[in-house]
Amino acid sequence: MSNWKKALIWLVVIAGILYLYFGNLNKGTKTIICIWAGVSFILWLIHHEIRALELDKMCQSIDRRFRCIEHRIGLVDDTDEKMIIAKPVAYKMHLGLLPHWEKILEKLAEQNEQKPDDFIEEILNDKELGIEKGEGLSWKDFWFDIYQDEFSGMQQVWSHQYKTLVDGWVIKGRLFEPWPMLSRAVPKKYTYNYVRQPLTLTPYSAWFEQFYSENDVIKGRTATPYTDTPYNDVFKDGKIAEIPYFDIIKLLLELGKILTPHCYAIRKFPKELQQNLEKSNIRYDNEPYSFQNYGTEFDFSKDEDSDTNEIGWNNEQWFKDKGIKLYEKTVDSHVFHTPYYSVSISLEIFEPPRQPVFQA
């Protein structure tokens, strides 16, 4: 109710009181007027309260709806870790696919019972193969910048190799190119060597294509892998590495959302993820090219220049429930090394939660 309406009502009330007091009315009339005024006032109060309750209920309903929408699009400054983790964000991921070429070629040379240097030199100088130096995948690393918007689902992938946007972060090709397609054009010593097979690299796996019966391919039949391996299978079924990539990304995003803008080295992973890492013989580190130390039990946490103290947040309930422990060491990337292949991951959240759950 506007102020002028309130002032008008009060003027009418005051005028009525003065009229009753000074007016020439008998006692019975004054009594009836007072009772009518009192009942009217009480009815007005009741109506006002009912109206106020209805408005309050409607506002609460609207408020709940807006909060639901705001939670969904991440506009609410809640400090509950579950809500912050569920909040969709936009982020950039710098992804590196890093084959350990020296060790891979060493294994391929082993298939031909040669030393790696002799094996590579022989391939490059073989005129029958016609290999062009610098072509193929060998001795190359592959980096991508992935821009992801969780709310809209839109994703853009930039390839550092091709200097353009690409459909995904999968690399496929042969180690040396161009390689003759049919075995009849390939010296027999390479017939059952993985060096002639296409290699596929992804963040979650790396593998050589299996060997198929040449007769099946020529006659147009469905090609099937060899069941009785007629060669020294240095990589079981062509598999080089398997990495629980999607579980890793889920964990890193959760940590990024609640600890942004900082990124810390991980001392202990959740139990199930830790078991998967151990099962796949994966070593965690923070340096993309430290795979040269693989197998030497190198531990970055023993580096005298690193801050190896556990971070205070490890005592928070969320960390205990997840089974996660962090070091105080801030890092630029998280790297997962297998004996023959590494994947480097660096996350940058563009729109971090406005009030991080845990603050330094």
* Residue with the two structure tokens 């923070």: 286
Among 12, 45, 72, the domain boundary falls at: 72
**pLDDT confidence of residue 221:** 41
Same domain assignment for residues 15 and 158: no
When divided into structural domains, the chain yields a total of 2
- Position 5 scores a pLDDT of 64
Which pLDDT belongs to residue 48? 77
Whether residues 43 and 131 share a domain: the answer is: no
Per-residue model confidence as pLDDT tens for the chain (360 residues): 566 666 666 666 666 666 666 666 676 776 777 777 777 777 777 877 888 888 877 777 776 676 666 655 555 555 566 777 777 888 999 999 999 999 999 999 998 889 999 999 988 888 878 888 888 999 999 999 999 998 888 999 999 999 999 998 999 999 998 877 655 656 777 878 889 899 999 999 999 998 765 554 444 444 445 444 555 678 888 899 999 999 999 999 999 888 877 788 898 999 999 999 999 999 998 877 665 555 433 454 454 444 456 666 777 888 888 899 888 888 889 999 999 999 999 999 886 544 545 554
Q: Are residues 68 and 91 in the same domain?
A: no
Domain boundary among 45, 72, 99: 72
DSSP string, 52-121: HHHHHHHHHHHHHHHHHHHHHHT------HHHHHHS--EEEEEEEEEE-HHHHHHHHHHHTT--HHHHHH
Two tokens, residue 268: 């202990």
For residues 98 and 163, membership in a common domain is answered with: yes
Identify whether residues 121 and 230 lie together within a single domain. yes
Is there a single domain that holds both residue 29 and residue 55?
Answer: yes
Q: Which residues contact 104 (CB under 8 A, 6 or more apart)?
A: 240, 340
pLDDT at res. 350: 82
CA separation, residue 118 to residues 45, 101, 113, 114, 115 (Å): 100, 15, 10, 7, 5
Q: Are residues 61 and 90 in the same domain?
A: no
Q: What is the pLDDT of residue 20?
A: 64
**Predicted pLDDT at 287:** 76
- Report CA-CA distances (Å) from 1 to 7, 54, 259, 310, 311: 11, 16, 49, 61, 57
Domain match, 253 and 169 both: yes
Put simply, whether the predicted model's pTM sits higher than 0.85 gets the answer: no
Beta-carbon neighbour count of residue 201 at 10 Å?
22
User: 8 CB contacts (<8 Å, ≥6 apart)?
Assistant: none
Structural domain ending residue among the three candidates 72, 98, 122: 72
7 and 119 co-located in one domain: no
Residue 20 is part of which domain span?
3-72
